[in-house]
Amino acid sequence: MKEYNLTVVPTQNPTILKFETNQNLTQGNNYEFKNIDEAKKSPLAQQLFYLPFIKTVYVSGNFIALERFDIVEWEDVKDEVAQQLVEYLNAGEPVVLEEAVGKKVAVTVYAEVTPNPSTMKFVASRRIVPEPFEFKNIDEATESELAKQLFHFPFVKQVFLDENYVSVSKYEMAEWDEITMELREFIRDFIADGKEAVSVNARAIKLENTPKEQEIQENLDNTSLQIIDILEEYVKPAVASDGGNILFKSYEEESKTVNVILQGACSGCPSSTYTLKNGIETMLKNMMGDKVNEVVALNG
């Protein structure tokens, strides 16, 4: 049996470290385990969770990525972890208890129209990603195999992923009744093959570029925090149902202006201005009183 060798590879997120192998670890599937209970089908992940600093274990075709808690630095423990992984793999112990190759994941996908005529929402019967991701072109989609392959369709303009759906925006060169079936079947087959829509590295990059919740809370005034709470509780669910997302950007106290970012189906939607003025703006004015005069949207 060929001996396993590991290469330690840093990621843009300092809490996540990759251990790349010279042999495949899985049958092409990707796995994420957040605790020892979730790791029942991965003896390797279960063993790793006995290390008190391991927060999340990712297992892919040719690497293991580990996310740590802040109680240690990777520089202090990476060699010890690498040695433990090499010994485990070379002992012939199982990484993940996978079912037979070729077995499809049971999934259904249906198409749903959105208020934006250039965007269609494709809803799956299972979760695709843990959080929203937006890709405006194929160059931005290097860490998302699903988005990258969708951009190979000449009529695909933008791709937005969130929870259990994919919002696809098209160019005017094609009509939805001509391409919806093709896109739906492609997305369904991609998920059914057990492929990962977004890579671990994409999540690492996003975490690195997103301020920590505690820092956000400390830097924002009370009015901004109230606006965020309203958007999260009342607006986001409705926007998500239309295949989009809304993010708080800033609050200008002097002009009492709320700036938000629209993503997915909401970005560039002809009806978004109406929705803002007659929906979100009215709601914030009613709930915030004279603290809000206007809501201004920026396309994501």
pLDDT interval class at 238 (50, 70, 90): confident
23 against 206, higher pLDDT: 23
Judged against a pLDDT cut of 70, whether residue 163 lies above it is answered with yes
pLDDT interval class at 25 (50, 70, 90): confident
Q: Which residues pair with 244 in a beta bridge?
A: 264
Q: How far apart are CA 234 and CA 275, in angstroms?
A: 13
Q: How far apart are CA 59 and CA 20, in angstroms?
A: 10
For 29-40, write each residue's pLDDT tens digit: 788 899 998 888
168 against 102, higher pLDDT: 168
| pLDDT for 88 | 92
pTM above 0.75, yes or no: no
Taking each helix axis from N to C end, the angle separating 222-230 and 281-288, rounded to the nearest 10 degrees, works out to: 130
Judged against a pLDDT cut of 60, whether residue 216 lies above it is answered with no
Task: Supply 79's token pair.
Answer: 């060699």
| pLDDT for 106 | 82
| pLDDT for 215 | 45
| pLDDT for 55 | 94
Judged against a pLDDT cut of 50, whether residue 122 lies above it is answered with yes
55 against 286, higher pLDDT: 55
Judged against a pLDDT cut of 70, whether residue 273 lies above it is answered with no
Name the burial class of residue 162, with classes exposed (0-12), middle (13-18) and buried (19+) by CB atoms within 10 angstroms of its CB: buried
| pLDDT for 47 | 92
- Non-local (6+) Cβ contacts of 242 within 8 A are 114, 115, 116, 121, 265, 266
Judged against a pLDDT cut of 80, whether residue 190 lies above it is answered with yes
Mean pLDDT of 151-165: 91
- Non-local (6+) Cβ contacts of 68 within 8 A are 15, 16, 17, 53, 54, 55, 74, 77
Q: What percent of the chain has pLDDT over 90?
A: 35
- Of 184-193, 232-241, 286-295, the one with minimum mean pLDDT is 232-241
| pLDDT for 71 | 93
Judged against a pLDDT cut of 50, whether residue 209 lies above it is answered with no
| pLDDT for 1 | 54
Judged against a pLDDT cut of 90, whether residue 17 lies above it is answered with yes
Q: How far apart are CA 114 and CA 123, in angstroms?
A: 12
The secondary element (H helix, E strand) that includes residue 233 is none
Is residue 249 helix, strand or coil? strand
- Which ranges of 49-175 would DSSP assign to H, the alpha helix? 74-90, 145-150
CB 213 within 8 A of CB 47: no
